[in-house]
Amino acid sequence: MASSSSTYRSSSSSDGCNNNNPSESTVVVDERKRKRMLSNRESARRSRMRKQKHVDDLTAQINQLSNDNRQILTSLTVTSQLYMKIQAENSVLTAQMSELTTRLESLNEIVELVTINGSGFGDQIDGCGFDDRTVGIDGYYDDMMSGVTPWGGSVYTNQPIMANDINMY
């Protein structure tokens, strides 16, 4: 420190000030030193304040990003659960569609057989070429067969076609 104060003294005496009194130049140098020291302290204080503000801003940003991350994870969890539920429902519906498509194809085959063979039934009651009206009591056979279709099913059994979801899982 002594060399820096001597540097200041020599520079102060060489900067054009003709002070004959060495104590007066020392006072000027000391005053400049004190002002510079205060300025440096103020600058350091401002720097610490900027640094603290920056740290506070980063902490607030960390908190905000953590909250955003938690919300995204919650949303992702809910979305994943919903996706799994919809995927399970889709599997059930796909299986039901497959079963119903198979049933529809079978029914269409039956309708096609009935339509093709329908004109050839004539006196054939059971579709095999036999005349089953051998009872001999007039009206009895007609009453008995009035609710039966030629392929053996009852006309009155209108049951909805439903998929059996027990076999779907």
Q: How far apart are CA 148 and CA 143, in angstroms?
A: 10
* Residue whose entry in the numeric block shows the structure tokens 């600058």: 43
The three-state (H, E, C) secondary structure of the chain, written as one string: CHHHHHHHHHHHHHCCCCCCCHHHHHHHHHHHHHHHHHHHHHHHHHHHHHHHHHHHHHHHHHHHHHHHHHHHHHHHHHHHHHHHHHHHHHHHHHHHHHHHHHHHHHHHHHHHHHHHHHCCCCCCCCCCCCCCCCCCCCCHHHHHHCCECCCCCECCCCCCCCCCCCCCC
Q: For the chain, which residues make up each domain, given as ranges?
A: 21-145
Answer for the pair 151, 127: CB distance below 8 angstroms, yes or no: yes
Instruction: Give the sign of the dihedral formed by CA 53, CA 58, CA 63, CA 68.
Output: positive
Answer for the pair 45, 53: CB distance below 8 angstroms, yes or no: no
Which is nearest to 141 in space by CA: 129, 125, 119? 125
Q: What is the pLDDT of residue 71?
A: 97
Q: What is the pLDDT of residue 27?
A: 87
Instruction: Give the sign of the dihedral formed by CA 144, CA 149, CA 150, CA 153.
Output: negative
What's this model's pTM, rounded to 2 decimal places?
0.42
What does the pLDDT profile of the chain (169 residues) look like in tens digits? 444 444 444 444 444 445 556 688 888 889 999 999 999 999 999 999 999 999 999 999 999 999 999 999 999 999 999 999 999 999 999 999 999 999 999 999 999 988 887 655 544 555 555 454 554 445 545 555 555 555 555 554 555 555 555 555 4
